[in-house]
């Protein structure tokens, strides 16, 4: 039996982000549903042809989505919350997009909080898909939830591919993961209790696919790599026993990815399925236990090519790693570790990329080619692909030894670190010194850093990038923006000012462009949610900071005012978590390198005169590993990196940090260990409940809980903000409290920001007056 190549899912957005463009046209009312569906069909056809041509034998269908595959699953099973007014029958596109985005324009912010605009319906909640930067729409169930088959999408797309001569393996999100990813409305029951009601819908879908001719169905159960309780494990056994009993003929490839089956291995291996996919990139060690424990007739799909990163693979190493599986005589498929959704599409389009770096990379299309080479090596002998294997080996060797990657100075600096970096003086003494120096009023006011990125700001940046605006004209433009922002901040009465971040396209990209060891693609977009795509930087080499990145802007801004101007930086952990990271050294090592680069910037800002420096760690919590047992190790090095970045300054220099909406309770010890002098967090929408994590001895330093929910276009009143500050003052010592909005002012318009911040300052003054 020969080894075949399988893919589990493919990027949906298209080589030129056609899906994004078309969705935005559709939402703006400039293109109708038929046009949208036609674009989607063309993208699917292209994706299928691409996969076939590059050598995939097993090609997925129903992996495409107009917005999100979890939302598609909710639609498929008819789990549409009542607020959307759906009364049965097929779910129309208006209802679909209402769930995705709400019905009042921009309905969800980057953090997944739906905006509850007056009169409209809110979008469903959005959250991160495991530890990727893809976001899914959280299914919401009621205790009396009824499920019914409400979509023909899986069958339609299977038939569509077939009509093009491509036999596919349809993909479904498995019933147990689907329920585990959802939430109970009201929170008063366990969604898993709905399993018996859900399964008949899955049976119906699987039967329909079998009737259409599908021999195999891929059923994704990524929750099998999470910490599960006994009830969840039992649900797996129950679900698959029931599906097995109801199916005749259709075979299931159960896929797991993003980690190790670990303590769920026995559960997974006992399921009556026909195939099992395991992630051997994240968890290479699970191959042997799976080989030892799996039924002899279980088809194994080996996820050997990294679906979540951009590096060309070491094909020889993979062949060696899977040799035991080959020797076992089992039926094998070779696959990416997970869906290629998380990988950029096609490296061939990156014609402007540095040649060396390009030779080290593989995007989705190239990854399928790598799998095809591996399969040929196994099926027709390594000699038949000697040239390809040697080329891959040469690329790996060139990357390993390249002076472009290796900076002895950077490596020595990281190696020379004590691992105990931190500020020498404890917080209370620093606080006293800073108070004497800064002389701020109680309830000092500030903002989180960015101000509106107006169309003019974006246009100027784009013009400068294409050479249509000279560098000095661009600089003069930005200085005017900064000057106007400083004037307004003084007038409105803010105590600690910011320059506004007008020069930054993005809080990570800006720094990546100024650090060595980073490259940027032109077209390396990856879906973040719906039509939103990100183009993460690629960290390919040792990271250093050749010269100051922000000092000039800060100096200019500070020169305009006598009030303290905050230096504004992105922290090392956030830069790491929002980039493609090199795979030839531990993430921790790369993070330490970034930390030293940021430290240099912090020291230079202080030397230039900055009394307050903010180091944002928006994505610190996002980096938490999927399994609890791995949390502490991550938090230890993440905190160490923040301390490296922030501890090069004198006691009087005040270090701020910032974190976006998070569950803070279970990481509060780590946040305290970061030892910042002030932290701002987003809390406005949580009514200060998120602040509870910081109460008492758990957090000694100063805190700015967001009082203005900038994710909503609604203008907050003074009273509302006073009420929030009073709620904060009930939990904290008044002298601990700063007054600031939530983050993301760059996404609002100036006419919204002006009155809201004026009200915020008024609220702070009311608090001072007592």
**Which one, 121 or 670, has the nearer CB to Zn ion?**
670
The entry of ligand GLN, Zn ion, none near residue 365 (CB within 5 to 8 angstroms by kind) is none
H or E stretch covering 644: helix 631-646
Distances (CA, A) of 358 to 69, 398, 524: 31, 12, 12
Q: Are 266 and 234 in contact (CB under 8 A)?
A: no
**Which one, 568 or 672, has the nearer CB to ligand GLN?**
568
Taking alpha carbons only, the member of 398, 464, 445, 349 closest to residue 704 is 445
**Which one, 253 or 508, has the nearer CB to ligand GLN?**
508
H or E stretch covering 43: helix 33-54
**Which one, 616 or 651, has the nearer CB to ligand GLN?**
616
Taking alpha carbons only, the member of 313, 194, 332, 335 closest to residue 256 is 335
Residue 75: both structure tokens together: 């639609």
Distance CA 594, CA 542 (A): 9
From the annotation, which residues make up the binding site for 5-methyltetrahydropteroyltri-L-glutamate? Answer: 17-20, 128, 133, 532-533, 578, 622
In the complex, least distance from residue 507 CB atom to ligand GLN, rounded to whole angstroms: 5
**Which one, 86 or 661, has the nearer CB to ligand GLN?**
661
H or E stretch covering 333: strand 332-336
Per-residue binding letters, 557-576, with ligand GLN (x by CB under 6 A)? -----------x--------
Distances (CA, A) of 584 to 309, 411, 540, 580, 641: 12, 14, 9, 12, 19
From the annotation, which residues make up the binding site for L-methionine? Answer: 448-450, 501, 616
Per-residue binding letters, 407-446, with ligand GLN (x by CB under 6 A)? ----------------------------------------
Taking alpha carbons only, the member of 151, 232, 241 closest to residue 192 is 232
In the complex, least distance from residue 574 CB atom to ligand GLN, rounded to whole angstroms: 8
From the annotation, which residues make up the binding site for Zn(2+)? Answer: 658, 660, 682, 743
Q: Which residue's beta carbon is nearest to the bound ligand GLN? A: 449
Residues 464-483 that bind ligand GLN (CB under 6 A): none
| Cα dihedral 294→296→299→305 (10° resolution) | 60
In the complex, least distance from residue 515 CB atom to Zn ion, rounded to whole angstroms: 21
Distances (CA, A) of 637 to 283, 414, 445, 642, 699: 21, 13, 32, 9, 20
In the complex, least distance from residue 571 CB atom to Zn ion, rounded to whole angstroms: 11
In the complex, least distance from residue 454 CB atom to ligand GLN, rounded to whole angstroms: 14
Among 224, 526, 743, 764, binds Zn ion (CB under 5 A): 743
Distance CA 725, CA 707 (A): 7
- CA angle 350-351-357, nearest 5°? 70
* CA neighbours closer than 13 Å in the CB half-sphere of residue 152: 7
Q: Which residue's beta carbon is nearest to the bound Zn ion? A: 743
Residue 244 is among the residues annotated as catalytic for this protein: no
Distance CA 199, CA 180 (A): 14
Among 743, 760, 761, 763, binds ligand GLN (CB under 6 A): 743
Q: Decide if residue 660 touches Zn ion (CB under 5 A).
A: yes
**Which one, 448 or 764, has the nearer CB to ligand GLN?**
448
Q: DSSP E strands: which ranges in 436-589?
A: 516-519, 526-529, 532-534, 538-544, 566-570
**Which one, 612 or 619, has the nearer CB to Zn ion?**
619
The entry of Zn ion, ligand GLN, none near residue 449 (CB within 5 to 8 angstroms by kind) is ligand GLN
Among 660, 732, 756, 761, binds ligand GLN (CB under 6 A): 660
Tell me, by CB under 6 A, how many residues bind ligand GLN. 12
Distance CA 318, CA 235 (A): 34
Q: Are 622 and 663 in contact (CB under 8 A)?
A: no
How does DSSP classify residue 151?
A: -
Q: Decide if residue 450 touches ligand GLN (CB under 6 A).
A: yes
Distance CA 319, CA 68 (A): 35
The entry of Zn ion, ligand GLN, none near residue 507 (CB within 5 to 8 angstroms by kind) is ligand GLN
Residues 597-626 that bind Zn ion (CB under 5 A): 618
Q: Are 542 and 589 in contact (CB under 8 A)?
A: no
Q: Decide if residue 620 touches ligand GLN (CB under 6 A).
A: no
Q: How many CB atoms lie within 10 A of CB 516?
A: 14
In the complex, least distance from residue 732 CB atom to Zn ion, rounded to whole angstroms: 20
The entry of ligand GLN, Zn ion, none near residue 52 (CB within 5 to 8 angstroms by kind) is none
The entry of ligand GLN, Zn ion, none near residue 748 (CB within 5 to 8 angstroms by kind) is none
Residues present in the chain in total: 770
For the chain, count helices (H), then strands (E).
27, 21
Among 78, 170, 449, 716, binds ligand GLN (CB under 6 A): 449
Handedness of CA 328, 329, 330, 332 (dihedral sign): positive
In the complex, least distance from residue 618 CB atom to Zn ion, rounded to whole angstroms: 5
Helices (H), 55-101: 69-76, 93-101
The entry of ligand GLN, Zn ion, none near residue 58 (CB within 5 to 8 angstroms by kind) is none
In the complex, least distance from residue 568 CB atom to ligand GLN, rounded to whole angstroms: 6
Residues 598-617 that bind ligand GLN (CB under 6 A): 616
Distance CA 707, CA 683 (A): 7
In the complex, least distance from residue 745 CB atom to Zn ion, rounded to whole angstroms: 10
Q: Decide if residue 112 touches ligand GLN (CB under 6 A).
A: no
**Which one, 385 or 507, has the nearer CB to ligand GLN?**
507
The entry of Zn ion, ligand GLN, none near residue 342 (CB within 5 to 8 angstroms by kind) is none
Scanning 323-331, 392-400, 574-582, 738-746 for contacts with Zn ion by CB under 5 A, the matching segment is 738-746
Residues 494-553 that bind ligand GLN (CB under 6 A): 507
Say whether 244 sits in a helix, a strand or coil.
helix
The entry of Zn ion, ligand GLN, none near residue 57 (CB within 5 to 8 angstroms by kind) is none
Q: Decide if residue 452 touches ligand GLN (CB under 6 A).
A: no
Catalytic entry in 113, 277, 523, 711: 711
**Which one, 457 or 568, has the nearer CB to ligand GLN?**
568
Q: How many CB atoms lie within 10 A of CB 10?
A: 26
In the complex, least distance from residue 448 CB atom to ligand GLN, rounded to whole angstroms: 4
Distance CA 317, CA 329 (A): 20
Taking alpha carbons only, the member of 308, 301, 118, 413 closest to residue 107 is 118
Say whether 250 sits in a helix, a strand or coil.
coil
The entry of ligand GLN, Zn ion, none near residue 446 (CB within 5 to 8 angstroms by kind) is none
Longest dimension (CA), the chain: 82
In the complex, least distance from residue 616 CB atom to ligand GLN, rounded to whole angstroms: 5
DSSP letter string, 429-464: HHHHHHHHHH-PPSS-B---SB----HHHHHHHHHH
Distance CA 294, CA 499 (A): 60
Per-residue binding letters, 238-257, with Zn ion (x by CB under 5 A)? --------------------
Among 124, 448, 496, 591, binds ligand GLN (CB under 6 A): 448
Distance CA 115, CA 701 (A): 31
Scanning 135-143, 184-192, 280-288, 742-750 for contacts with ligand GLN by CB under 6 A, the matching segment is 742-750
The entry of ligand GLN, Zn ion, none near residue 377 (CB within 5 to 8 angstroms by kind) is none
From the annotation, which residues make up the binding site for L-homocysteine? Answer: 448-450, 501, 616
Residues that bind ligand GLN (CB under 6 A): 448-450, 507, 568, 616, 618, 658, 660, 743-744, 746
Residues that bind Zn ion (CB under 5 A): 618, 660, 743
Q: Which residues are catalytic?
A: 711
């Amino acid at each position: 039996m020969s080894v075949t190549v399988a893919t589990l899912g493919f990027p949906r957005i298209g080589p030129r982000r056609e899906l994004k463009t078309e969705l935005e046209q559709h939402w703006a009312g400039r293109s109708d549903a038929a046009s949208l569906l036609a674009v989607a069909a063309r993208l699917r056809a292209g994706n299928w042809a691409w996969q076939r041509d590059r050598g995939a034998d097993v090609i997925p269908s129903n992996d495409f989505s107009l917005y999100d595959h979890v939302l598609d699953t909710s639609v498929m099973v008819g789990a549409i919350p009542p607020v959307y007014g759906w009364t049965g029958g097929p779910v129309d596109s208006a209802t679909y997009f209402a769930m995705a985005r709400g019905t009042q324009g921009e309905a969800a912010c980057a953090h997944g909080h739906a905006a509850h605009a007056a009169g409209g319906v809110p979008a469903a909640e959005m959250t991160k898909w495991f530890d990727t930067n893809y976001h899914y729409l959280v299914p919401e169930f009621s205790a009396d939830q009824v499920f019914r088959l409400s979509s023909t999408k899986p069958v339609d797309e299977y038939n569509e591919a077939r009509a093009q001569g491509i036999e596919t393996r349809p993909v479904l999100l498995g019933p147990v993961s689907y329920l585990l990813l959802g939430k109970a409305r009201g929170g008063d029951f366990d969604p898993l209790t709905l399993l018996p009601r859900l399964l008949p819908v899955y049976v119906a879908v699987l039967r329909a696919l079998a009737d259409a001719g599908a021999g195999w169905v891929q059923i994704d159960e990524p929750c099998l790599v999470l910490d599960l309780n006994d009830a969840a494990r039992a649900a797996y056994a129950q679900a698959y026993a029931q599906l097995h009993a109801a199916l005749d003929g259709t075979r299931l490839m159960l896929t797991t990815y993003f980690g190790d089956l670990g303590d769920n291995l026995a559960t997974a291996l006992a399921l009556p399925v026909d195939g099992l996919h395991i992630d051997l990139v994240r968890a290479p060690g699970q191959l042997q236990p799976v080989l030892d424990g799996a039924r002899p007739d279980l088809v194994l799909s080996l996820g050997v090519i990294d679906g979540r990163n951009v590096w060309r693979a070491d094909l020889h190493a993979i062949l060696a790693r899977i040799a035991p599986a080959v020797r076992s005589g089992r039926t094998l498929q070779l696959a990416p570790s997970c869906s290629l959704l998380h990988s950029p599409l096609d490296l061939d389009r990156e014609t402007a990329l540095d040649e060396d770096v390009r030779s080290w990379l593989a995007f989705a299309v190239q990854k399928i080619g790598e799998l095809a080479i591996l399969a040929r090596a196994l099926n027709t002998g390594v000699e038949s692909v000697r040239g390809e294997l040697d080329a891959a080996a040469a690329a790996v060797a060139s990357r390993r030894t390249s002076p472009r990657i290796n900076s002895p100075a950077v490596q020595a600096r990281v190696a020379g670190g004590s691992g105990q970096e931190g500020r020498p003086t404890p917080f209370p003494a620093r606080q006293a010194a800073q108070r004497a120096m800064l002389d701020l009023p109680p309830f000092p006011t500030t903002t989180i850093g960015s101000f509106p990125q107006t169309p003019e700001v974006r246009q100027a940046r784009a013009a400068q990038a294409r050479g249509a605006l000279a560098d000095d004209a661009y600089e003069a433009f930005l200085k005017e923006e900064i000057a106007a922002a400083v004037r307004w901040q003084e007038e409105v009465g803010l105590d600690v000012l910011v320059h506004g971040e007008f020069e930054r396209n993005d809080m990570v990209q800006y720094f990546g462009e100024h650090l060595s060891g980073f490259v940027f693609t032109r077209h390396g977009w990856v879906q973040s949610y719906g039509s939103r795509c990100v183009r993460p930087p690629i960290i390919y080499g040792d990271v250093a900071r050749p010269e100051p990145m922000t000092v000039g802007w800060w100096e200019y801004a500070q020169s305009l005012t006598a009030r303290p101007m905050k230096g504004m930086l992105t922290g090392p952990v956030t830069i790491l978590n929002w980039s493609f990271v090199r795979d030839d050294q531990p993430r921790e090592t790369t993070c330490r390198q970034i930390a030293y680069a940021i430290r240099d910037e912090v020291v230079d800002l202080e030397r230039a005169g900055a009394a307050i420096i903010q180091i944002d760690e928006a994505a610190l919590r996002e980096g938490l590993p999927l399994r609890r047992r791995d949390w502490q190790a991550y938090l230890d090095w993440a905190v160490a990196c923040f301390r490296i970045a922030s501890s090069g300054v004198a006691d009087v220099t005040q270090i701020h940090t910032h974190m976006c909406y998070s569950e803070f309770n279970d990481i509060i010890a780590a946040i305290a260990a970061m030892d910042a002098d002030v932290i701002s967090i987003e809390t406005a929408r949580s009514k200060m409940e998120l602040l509870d994590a910081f109460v008492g001895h758990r957090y000694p330093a100063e805190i700015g809980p967001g009082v203005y929910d900038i994710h909503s276009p609604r203008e907050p009143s003074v009273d509302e903000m006073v009420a929030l500050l009073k709620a904060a003052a009930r939990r904290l010592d008044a002298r601990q409290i700063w007054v600031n909005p939530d983050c993301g002012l760059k996404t609002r318009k100036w006419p919204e920001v002006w009155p809201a911040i004026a009200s915020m300052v008024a609220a702070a003054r009311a608090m001072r007056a007592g």
